[in-house]
Amino acid sequence: MSIFRFAALTVALCAATVGAFGQETITPRRAIEMAADAAPAGVAGKFVMTVRATGREDSNIFLNSENDYRDQRNLTVVVPPLVSAMLLKKFGALPDVYFTGKTIAVTGEAKRVKIVFTCNGMPTAKYYYQTHVVLTDDDHIEVVPPPAEPH
């Protein structure tokens, strides 16, 4: 096997791993890359990330893979109010409390979203992109073991 083919296989294995049930899982960095390549369409899959930070806006709860939601490496899981209520009933805590610090697997569609900066409540010409997975069902999220550390 050539060194180039070995390197390509190594990169592919690092970007996506196979979960317990044989379904490929996608890391935040790979999800962001795939969503950017597919834009304006999204990319369906099973996304695995550790929830490092959370936020709330307009009754939505946001679960973030990075401490700073503006970080270009951040994948955000958006939990709408209806799904949040179902998760509260299921786990006895709101998603931002229950999932913080845990590794989760979310089945859905990663999609690039344009975020426009505002000034005094008015949109400006400045913007950046985030990658979001909107959670549509309480059965589409689960806590999973954290990925193994490389040796």
Report pTM.
Answer: 0.82
Indicate whether 58 belongs to any domain.
yes
Indicate whether 71 belongs to any domain.
yes
Taking only the tens place, the pLDDT of each residue in 80-131 is 999 999 999 999 999 999 999 999 999 999 999 999 999 999 999 999 999 9
Residue 9 has pLDDT above 80, yes or no: no
Indicate whether 61 belongs to any domain.
yes
Return mean pLDDT, the chain.
Answer: 88
d(CA 132, CA 63): 10
Determine the structural domain holding residue 88 and report its residue range: 3-143
Neighbours of 151 (CB within 10 A): 3
Q: What is the dihedral of CA 33, 79, 25, 36, to 10 degrees?
A: -10
Give how many domains the chain has, as a whole number.
1
Give the CATH number for residue 77.
2.40.50.140
Indicate whether 89 belongs to any domain.
yes
Q: For a pLDDT cut of 70, what percent of the chain falls above it? A: 83
Coil, strand or helix: which one is 17? strand
Indicate whether 29 belongs to any domain.
yes
Indicate whether 151 belongs to any domain.
no
Contact indicator for 105, 141 with CB cutoff of 8 Å = yes
Q: What is the dihedral of CA 110, 74, 23, 106, to 10 degrees?
A: -70
